[in-house]
Amino acid sequence: MGKVAIEVLPVLSLEEQSTRRLLERKVEKAFYEAGLSLKQLKELKLYRSTHKTFKDYCLDRFGFSKSAVYYLIGSVEVVDNLQKSPQFVDKMPTAENQCRPLKSLEPEQQREAWGLALKKASGKVPSASIVKEVVNQIQGKNRERATETQNAQNENVCSTQSKIRFVPLENPTVGQRVRIASHHELFAQQFGIITQISQQRRVVVELDNQQRELIKIQDLEMQKIVEKNGTVTMPQEGLNYTPGLGNEWYVRVDAETWHKLDQYAKKVGTATLGGAIARLLENL
């Protein structure tokens, strides 16, 4: 009969146990400290002596992509919010990707989702996949409630007015105004205009804050108008009225004209293409 080897592990002293717990906490909070430091570097603009943009600074200094930086900074807000709940003190996120899905929720729902994820993980710190699953469930309920609310509001709109619907974008065109879908992790519900169509089902969108982002077409929505008789139409050239938005002008231009307007807007320093057109009209 073979012998069974029994390995006896050494016992740590009380001081060693304390040191171990301290170091483990530092490892677990490394992503938070990184995000907090990046946030301060950005807010104080401490990169300006060597780089023109924060994006270039992070790439050169740390090798961090733009999305990685925003994920880390976003995780700080999530952790700070979760810390407001005493029951999470010893069960905080230990990695940035556990916070990422929570960023798309309101603060109260972030805490709700983290609590549900802890239960799903049997009281242990949940994996990113578990957190994302819980967040998807909450977002699904949010969309259902939002749809019900929007439909109820539309029913109360005067019968002579049209109803707004946002539907998945199918055939993008340069100059088209779009909305980023609510499930997007960074720019949910933000509006912008398509400035370039790239390969692999992606487009460049200039957001209303002038920030340009590469977005998947599947993450974009376009506005449609549902008439009283149920007819679905796109906004027409000229003056259009839609409930909640008021009067808006729509003008269709070809890609070449769009790019010329875009370059003119940059040249004269206007915030939007509408501002560029207004500047041109002033000279008439």
Q: How many angstroms separate the CA atoms of 164 and 244, rounded?
A: 9
Bridge-based pairing state of the strands 238-242 and 202-207: unpaired
Final residue before a domain boundary, out of 107, 140, 173: 140
Residues 136 and 216 in one domain: no
For residue 242, the enclosing domain spans 161-252
Final residue before a domain boundary, out of 73, 108, 140: 140
Residues 135 and 37 in one domain: yes
Question: Which residue shows structure tokens 């060597």?
Answer: 50
Q: Are 179 and 186 in contact (CB under 8 A)?
A: no
Residues 136 and 166 in one domain: no
Instruction: Give me the pLDDT at residue 58, please.
Output: 94
Q: Which long-range contacts (CB under 8 A, 24 or more apart) does 204-208 make?
A: 205/178, 205/180, 208/272
Q: What is the pTM of this model?
A: 0.52
Confidence of residue 241 (pLDDT cuts 50, 70, 90): low
Residues 91 and 194 in one domain: no
Residues 51 and 130 in one domain: yes
Instruction: Tell whether 274 is covered by a domain.
Output: no
Residues 216 and 135 in one domain: no
pLDDT for residue 152 is more than 70: no
Q: How many angstroms separate the CA atoms of 20 and 31, rounded?
A: 19
Instruction: Tell whether 189 is covered by a domain.
Output: yes
Instruction: Give me the pLDDT at residue 142, please.
Output: 77
Residues 68 and 167 in one domain: no
pLDDT for residue 115 is more than 60: yes
Residues 97 and 184 in one domain: no
Residues 82 and 28 in one domain: yes
Instruction: Give me the pLDDT at residue 186, please.
Output: 81
Q: Which pair of structure tokens corresponds to residue 91?
A: 């069960």
Instruction: Tell whether 1 is covered by a domain.
Output: no
Instruction: Give me the pLDDT at residue 151, please.
Output: 60
Instruction: Give me the pLDDT at residue 192, please.
Output: 86
Instruction: Tell whether 44 is covered by a domain.
Output: yes
Q: How many angstroms separate the CA atoms of 133 and 131, rounded?
A: 5
Number of domains making up the chain? 2
Give the tens place of pLDDT for each residue, 59-90: 999 999 999 999 999 999 999 999 999 888 78
Better-predicted residue by pLDDT, 9 or 133: 133
Instruction: Tell whether 156 is covered by a domain.
Output: no
Residues 86 and 52 in one domain: yes
Give the burial class of 238: count Cβ atoms within 10 A of its Cβ; 0-12 exposed, 13-18 middle, 19 or more buried. exposed
Instruction: Tell whether 57 is covered by a domain.
Output: yes
Instruction: Give me the pLDDT at residue 267, please.
Output: 73
In angstroms, the Cα distances linking 30 to 96, 98, 175 are 9, 13, 43
Residues 124 and 179 in one domain: no
Give CA torsion, residues 133, 139, 143, 145, to 10 deg: 110
Return the number of other C-beta atoms located less than 10 Å from residue 278's C-beta: 11
Give the tens place of pLDDT for each residue, 157-197: 444 455 667 888 888 888 888 889 888 878 888 888 888 88
Residues 98 and 29 in one domain: yes
* Residue 219's CATH number: 2.30.30.30
Specify the DSSP class assigned to residue 185.
Answer: T
Beta-bridge mates of residue 96: none
Final residue before a domain boundary, out of 88, 107, 140: 140
Confidence of residue 272 (pLDDT cuts 50, 70, 90): low
Instruction: Give me the pLDDT at residue 233, please.
Output: 56
Q: Are 143 and 182 in contact (CB under 8 A)?
A: yes
pLDDT for residue 46 is more than 70: yes
Q: Are 72 and 38 in contact (CB under 8 A)?
A: yes
pLDDT for residue 19 is more than 60: yes
Instruction: Tell whether 278 is covered by a domain.
Output: no
Instruction: Tell whether 8 is covered by a domain.
Output: no
